[in-house]
Structure 1
């Protein structure tokens, strides 16, 4: 196995982790193949795959916490193109639970 094939395999596995973590857009479009190409390009340009995956996990948590309508979830291609993983390196702060006390 040459180095390029090995690297491509690592990128493919990292993309699968990213895709699993990225929030669903439900019935709204979210093209996988272009997202995979942008993910690979980001890695080849020096982005840390773990940072991208962590950003996707935190973005998904933010979307879930805010109960964002799936149509307003960014397409993965947009999210990757704009390097939005840099905006989501910290986990969202949990919403305060109202226990009835002031």
Structure 2
């Protein structure tokens, strides 16, 4: 999992030798770098889904626990934040998670 994440997501280089460059000590910095690198395009930090609701849109979310690029607890955290914002029933009116 870490190999896929670092090579293809963070470094975007299939030949990247993560064993040579990545350590326990520098992993937090690498993780933070990936967050900053993709924040504008791959971020799900915003729970403002008002436009989706206003246009009667629906969102289907699939949470796989074996996806090397998606951390399951991050998805659970995001869903909880949706519940906090729209309420459980309000969220379920336009978001389904599988």
Decide which structure has greater strand share.
Answer: 2
| TM superposition score normalised by structure 2 | 0.27
Decide which structure has greater helix share.
Answer: 1
| TM superposition score normalised by structure 1 | 0.26
User: Which structure exhibits the higher relative contact order, with contacts defined as CA atoms closer than 8 Å and separated by 6 or more residues?
Assistant: 1
